[in-house]
Chain A
Amino acid sequence: MIAGALLFVLLAPFVGVPAVVLLQRLHRRCAAWGAAAAMAAGLAVLAPFVPRVLAGETLVARWQWLPEWGLDFALRLDGLGLLFCGLILGIGLLIVLYAAYYLPEKDRLGRFYAMLLAFAGGMLGVVLAENLLLLVVFWEVTSLSSFLLIAYKYEAREARVAARMALAVTGGGGLALLAGVLLLGQVAGSFDLSEVLARGDVVRAHPLYPVILGLVLLGAFTKSAQFPFHGWLPAAMAALTPVSAYLHSATMVKAGVFLLARLYPVLSGTEAWMVVVGGVGAVTFVYGAYVALRKDDLKGLLAYSTISHLGLVTLLFGLDTRMAAVAAVFHIINHAIFKASLFIAAGIIDHEAGTRDMRRMGGLLRLMPWTGALAIVAAGAMAGVPLLNGFLSKEMFFAETIGHPAFDGAARYLLPVLAVVGGVLSVGYSVRFVHEVFFGGAPRDLPRTPHEPPRWMRLPVDVLVALVLLVGLLPQVMVGPILLSASAAVLQGEVPAFRLAIWHGFTTPLLMSVAAMLGGLLYYRFRHVLFALHARLLPRDGGQMAFERAYRVAELAAMRAMAWLDPRSLPAYLALLVGFVLVLGVWAWRGGAPADLAGPLAWGSVDPLTGFGLLVLAVGAGGTVLLHRRPLVALMLLGVAGLMVSLGFLRFAAPDLALTQLSVEVVTVVLLLLALRYLPQVTAAESGAARRWRDAVLAGLGGLGVAALTFAMLTRPFETISGWQIAHSVPGGGGTNVVNVILVDIRGFDTMGEIAVLAMAALGLHALLQGLRLPPAAGVASAQPGEGLPVMLAMLMRPLLPLALAVSVYIFLRGHNLPGGGFIAGLVTAIALMLQYVAGGIDFARARLRWNYVKVLGAGLGVAVATGLGSWVFGRPFLTSTHGYVDPPVLEKFELASAMGFDLGVYLVVVGTVMLCLTELGAVSRSGRVGG
């Protein structure tokens, strides 16, 4: 029950990814409906489990995946996970609605929603993962999909650069996290969160603890844009506003603090944790709030404000008291709600006014009163104004800074002062947002006169701001239970008693709030003084520029290193490969116990005919090498070598190989001739003497080495695997031809891969030669259009076609028991069809063979896969074969194996590949003649 539900929640967005792309073809709106359905379905499925989770239960579902590596597909739903699921799906739903209005009419929504859903799925995976490795996997999904989302407007350079930066920073952090999690799993003895969370003592006492902490924090800090890794977040404002509202306020950047919360019981409680997490959080909190005020761009201000608030959450975790952790969770909720609404409002303003530059705005409250009022309320929550949700968590934060156990003496004022300074700065930028946009006279310089947006576009802001107010007014009712259970999940134990209320009496935190408010107003009033001071004392902050410069340098260095390491030349690769194999071989030979090259077996004798054949083979092979600059002659000598190899196969009783080799030879000659048309008839020597000597020595040594190895092997007795295969061929595969049974049954999966590669190669050729026009090379005879074809040949080929096809059917059918099978039969068929082209010309053959060879390829692969899948119907593993005997009334009794279906697939792929190559290469030659 719970297992199915969790799996559904997690998979629904991923199923939605292709679905919305297809739905968009129906209508623009359909994509939005599809995306909304995926999110809403997740919420609906989770709903029945809410009471159990709120009661403190942790629900775990587990599927074995790679148990030997400790990687199970395990999901857990506890308070923290439920809270985040609610944020991801709930805010996601609002964003889907908002984006449908935000994106221009001409945009194809399918692409956007597909990426958004992929991201939502990744986030859900992060928060639902029970296995730490699984968490890292989904962490990467969020990095990749956020890269795509930021680069949605990929035509804009700014968006591409920002996306790259976000990917480099968060992806790099993800790598660190992976390393950290691997170490953590080693130390804790398990990758399951339930186990790891219970072993905090073991982990903290381990000497590797600082390393683990550092790596995990790198992951968390990069994702949550903590100083000094914050640069990517302001740059990512190049993304669409719905993306910013979703990723950069409510979800993606919260993944980092989620990680802190998740591993809080394991990693916290040490001085290192407090210093690093608290320190980084504090710096980020104040720095972000300071920079936010100086941003003229609406989204820039919100981005730095987000950095600051994430710093606040980090700082709360770093304070490392139980109550501070509760406050951190509370602030995560509040910030997600008000910041998402602010981003959406900023998007509406941008959409309606045509700019995001605050200096050009003013007095917008009169033009868009409803949106303005909502945005002002949300900004109030951001500043921590009473009766709004942001006030409550900020009060808890202030309360936690007072009397922190780690600070005493004069230092005990440090934290409260820091908190008030941060508060002052937050009030300052919130006031700027409200004042410059909505008040202060009339719009100064707007491209368009703004007015209220469509009702549905504003609905997300309505809902979120209503939540801001409701949480602010009725905190205990609205978030009390979920906060309690989420905090329990973070703390893994007793949650300190807390009372969510608007009024706690005249307390020090209240005093601090008042001080922050007044200070913030003053600060905003006199901001120009500070700005002037800043401009004089501090250099311009150019984090993105610096990143770009570093990126360029790294790119150049990588390219230089690659050019030096990798000359991109096939001869060089071969020389390296052969040289390395030689070194390895000599090293292995010298390193082992001294042994004679010749083994104990007696030498056989060579009969004169075989010896003669070997001699001709050597002439053919040697001649091919010596005359390789005259391709046509080399090709003929290659034919000699091929013929001799086939005869050799026959001599040593390998008829399957011989038949294959014979037909491959013919196909090779014809296809190579098609290509030779575009190569010079005599090629010049391209490499110098030194290079040729080096290659000759390497090749000679390599050949001698292989010969020595073969000799050593053949003179030693050893057990081959063929005995097993021969023994199992008939009982297991139902065929007496072991070669064929190996191909289609014992090693059927390998064959599947091979025919797939074959098909891919043919399709690659098809794609590469599409529309290619080539004139023939100099020295190649050029046909005159009127010249006829030899009559004898044309007359001979027609009766040969049915004969050859009959032979190929025969070879195919008997293949399971006697030499033959799909591969040889396919080649024979292809040769018979080829002959029609060679003898009749391409027009003659095309008029009669109106086949689409790409479809033949597809059919072949389809048949092969279908045969494999067929065994699933009977509950057996993929490609399990079965066989039986059929006794039809007229024909002889014969044996039928399911592997024959697979063999048919092989046959079709071979025919399709050869014919596709032939017709494609032929078409190039044809267009060359017609066009040139």
Chain B
Amino acid sequence: MLSVALQVALGMVALAMALTVVRLVRGPTVADRILALDTLSINAIALLLLAGMLLQGAMLFEAALLIAMTGFVSTAALCRFLLRGDVIG
């Protein structure tokens, strides 16, 4: 039962990813694209967690942790670039 639910959830997360990719490619503004990229990495976390539950793979959770911990740094850097032009100044 759980396995079926997980598979359905995986499919839905994949669909969400597909939509974020469409947003990322289409834009139209840079801010849209940054949001899409950030959403994509959050979706990736979800995908990894669901897959980890389905496959009983501990390593997938660690990867999810790493994305959660570090992924937003690039989003923050992109936002700063957009707002201020310099990333660390």
Q: Say yes or no: A803 contacts B87, CB within 8 Å.
A: no
> For A787, what are the chain B residues with a Cβ–Cβ distance below 8 Å?
84
The interface size of chain B toward A, counting residues with CB under 8 Å, comes to: 45
Within 8 A of B (CB), among A671-687: 673-674, 676-677
Chain B residue contacts of A663, Cβ below 8 A? 66, 70
| B8 at the binding interface (Cβ < 8 Å) | no
Looking at B30, B76, B82, B86, the one whose CB has the most chain A CB atoms below 10 A away is B86
Contact B89 A838 (CB under 8 A): no
Residue from the list A636, A782, A804, A842 in contact with B33, Cβ < 8 A = A636
Give the CA-CA distance A612 to B62 in the complex, in Å: 23
In the complex, what residues of A have CB within 8 A of residue B65's CB?
807
Closest to A670 in B: B77
Distance from A642 Cβ to chain B, minimum over Cβ atoms (Å): 10
Residue B21 contacts which of A616, A669, A838 (CB distance < 8 angstroms)?
A: A616
Q: Is A20 an interface position by the 8 A CB rule?
A: no
Decide: A609 and B85 in contact? CB cutoff 8 A. Answer: no
A478 in the interface (beta carbon within 8 A): no
CA of A327 to CA of B47, assembled, Å: 93
Q: How many residues of chain A get a CB closer than 8 Å to chain B's CBs?
A: 57
| Complex contact B85–A781 (CB within 8 A) | yes
Q: Is B1 an interface residue (CB 8 A)?
A: no
A839 vs B63: C-alpha distance when bound (angstroms): 24
- Which residues of chain A are near B66, meaning CB under 8 Å? 659, 662-663, 807, 828
Q: How far is the CA of A839 from the CA of B84 in the complex (A)?
A: 12
CB atoms of B76 and A835 under 8 A apart: yes
Interface status of A793 (Cβ within 8 A of chain B): yes
Mark each residue of chain A from 814 to 845: 1 if its CB lies under 8 Å from any CB of chain B, else 0.
Answer: 00000100000000100100110111011001
Q: Give per-residue flags for A638-670: 1 if the beta carbon is below 8 A from chain B beta carbons, else 0.
A: 011001001100100001001100110110011
Identify which of A793, A828, A922 contacts B70 (C-beta below 8 A): A828
Q: Which of B62, B87, B88 has the most CB of A within 10 A?
A: B88
CB distance from B20 to the nearest CB of A (A): 9
Please give, as numbers and ranges, the residues of chain A lying within 8 Å of B27 by CB-CB distance: 633
A640-B89 contact, Cβ under 8 Å, with A616-B17, A666-B70, A669-B77: no
Interface string of A599-631 (1 = CB under 8 A from B): 000000000110010001001100100000000
CA A674 to CA B74, docked complex, whole Å: 12
Chain B residues with CB under 8 A of A918: 88
Asked if A676 and B84 make an inter-chain contact with CB atoms under 8 angstroms apart, the answer reads no
The CA of A926 and the CA of B62, in the complex, are separated in Å by 37
Residues of A within 8 A of B47 (CB): 647
A783/B34 contact (C-beta < 8 A), A612-B14, A623-B25, A636-B78 known: no
Q: CA of A612 to CA of B16 in the docked complex: distance in angstroms?
A: 12
Chain A contacts for B89, CB-based, 8 A: 783, 841-842, 922, 925-926, 929
Give a binary string over A763-803; 1 marks a CB under 8 Å from any B CB, 0 the rest: 00000000000001000111100010000010000001001
Q: Which residues of A contact B88 (CB under 8 A)?
A: 674, 834, 837-838, 841-842, 845, 918, 922, 925
8 Å CB contacts to A: which residues of B50-77? 51, 59-60, 62-63, 65-67, 69-71, 73-74, 76-77
Confirm or deny: A632 has a beta carbon within 8 angstroms of a beta carbon on chain B. yes
Contact B62 A674 (CB under 8 A): no
Q: Return the chain B residue nearest A831 by Cβ.
A: B70
At the interface, yes or no: A420 with Cβ under 8 Å from chain B?
no
User: Cβ of A670 and Cβ of B73 under 8 Å apart?
Assistant: yes
- With contacts A674-B88, A676-B81 known, is A793 near B76, CB below 8 A? yes
Query: Is there contact, CB below 8 Å, between A650 and B73?
Result: no
Output the least CB separation between B66 and chain A (Å). 5
Report the Cα distance A392→B28, complex, angstroms: 99
B40–A643 CB distance below 8 A: yes
Assembly CA distance A744 to B37 (angstroms): 35
Q: Which of A783, A838, A926 contacts B76 (CB 8 A)?
A: A838
B2 CB to nearest chain A CB (Å): 17
Contact with B along A837-869 (1 / 0, CB 8 A): 111011001000000000000000000000000
Known: A662-B66, A665-B74, A793-B76. A619 touches B25 (CB 8 A): yes
Q: Would you call A804 and B84 a contact (CB within 8 A)?
A: no
Bound-state CA distance A455–B14 (Å) is 94
Q: Is A637 an interface position by the 8 A CB rule?
A: yes
Task: Determine whether the beta carbon of A655 is less than 8 Å from that of B59.
Answer: yes
**Residue of B17, B18, B81 touching A673 (CB-CB under 8 A):** B81
| Known contacts A663-B66, A669-B77, A819-B62; A647/B71 CB under 8 A | no
Q: Which of A612, A616, A780, A828 contacts B85 (CB 8 A)?
A: A780
Let me know if B83 is at the binding interface, CB within 8 A. Answer: yes
Interface 0/1 of A180-212, CB less than 8 Å to B: 000000000000000000000000000000000
A616 to B16, CA, bound (A): 12
For residue B7, which residue of chain A has the nearest CB? A609
Residues of A within 8 A of B48 (CB): 647, 650
Given contacts A609-B14, A842-B88, contact A835 B21 (CB under 8 A): no
Residue contact B86 to A783, C-beta cutoff 8 Å: yes
Indicate if the CB atoms of A677 and B86 lie closer than 8 Å: yes
Closest to B60 in A: A650
CA distance A787 to B86 in the complex (A): 12
- A643 and B85 form a contact (CB under 8 A): no
Inter-subunit contact B34/A636 (CB<8 Å) = yes
The residue from A643, A783, A803 contacting B44, defined by CB atoms under 8 A apart: A643
Q: B27: nearest residue on chain A (CB-CB)? A: A633
> With a CB–CB cut-off of 8 A, which chain B residues contact A666?
70-71, 73-74
In whole Å, how far is A624's beta carbon from the nearest beta carbon of chain B?
11
Please indicate the chain A residues that have their CB under 8 angstroms from the CB of B33 in the complex: 633, 636
Question: Contacts A632-B81, A639-B37 given: A800-B76 contact, CB under 8 Å?
Answer: no
Bound CA span A677–B70, Å: 23
A838 touches B73 (CB 8 A): yes
Q: B73 and A835: CB pair below 8 A?
A: yes
Whole-angstrom distance between the alpha carbons of A842 and B89 in the complex? 5
Residues of A within 8 A of B76 (CB): 793, 835, 838-839
List, in ascending order, chain B residues with CB within 8 A of A640's CB: 21, 24, 37, 40
List the A side residues contacting B87 at CB < 8 Å: 670, 673-674, 677, 838, 922, 925
Q: Report chain A residues within 8 Å CB of B11.
A: 608-609
Within 8 A of B (CB), among A540-586: none
In the complex, the answer to whether A677 meets B81 with C-beta atoms within 8 Å is yes
Complex CA distance for A283 and B39, rounded to whole angstroms:
88
CB neighbours of A659 from chain B (8 A): 62-63, 66
A663 CB to closest chain B CB (Å) equals 6
Set B18, B34, B63: member contacting A650, Cβ < 8 A: B63
Q: Decide: A838 and B77 in contact? CB cutoff 8 A.
A: yes
The interface centre, meaning the residue of B10, B47, B78 with most chain A CB atoms within 10 A of its CB, is B78
A335 to B7, CA, bound (A): 96
Report Cα–Cα, A665/B87, bound state, in Å.
16
Closest to A925 in B: B86
Q: Verify B10–A609 contact, CB threshold 8 A.
A: yes
Q: Can you name the residue of chain B whose Cβ is closest to the Cβ of A632?
A: B30
25 A-B residue pairs with Cβ-Cβ distance under 8 Å, sorted by A, are: A608-B11, A612-B18, A616-B18, A619-B25, A632-B30, A636-B33, A639-B37, A646-B63, A650-B60, A659-B66, A663-B70, A670-B74, A673-B81, A776-B85, A783-B89, A787-B84, A803-B69, A807-B66, A807-B69, A819-B59, A834-B73, A838-B80, A841-B89, A922-B89, A925-B87
Kindly list the 5 A-B residue pairs having the minimum CB-CB distance in the complex, ordered from nearest.
A783-B84, A669-B74, A837-B88, A781-B85, A922-B88
Chain A residues near B (Cβ < 8 Å): 608-609, 612, 616, 619-620, 623, 632-633, 636-637, 639-640, 643, 646-647, 650, 655, 658-659, 662-663, 665-666, 669-670, 673-674, 676-677, 776, 780-783, 787, 793, 800, 803-804, 807, 819, 828, 831, 834-835, 837-839, 841-842, 845, 918, 922, 925-926, 929
Further contacts, 11 of them, CB under 8 A, given A650-B63, A842-B89: A637-B25, A640-B21, A650-B48, A658-B63, A662-B63, A663-B66, A663-B70, A666-B73, A674-B87, A804-B70, A922-B88
Chain B residues packing against A (C-beta within 8 Å): 10-11, 14, 17-18, 21, 24-25, 27, 30, 33-34, 36-37, 40-41, 44, 47-48, 51, 59-60, 62-63, 65-67, 69-71, 73-74, 76-78, 80-89
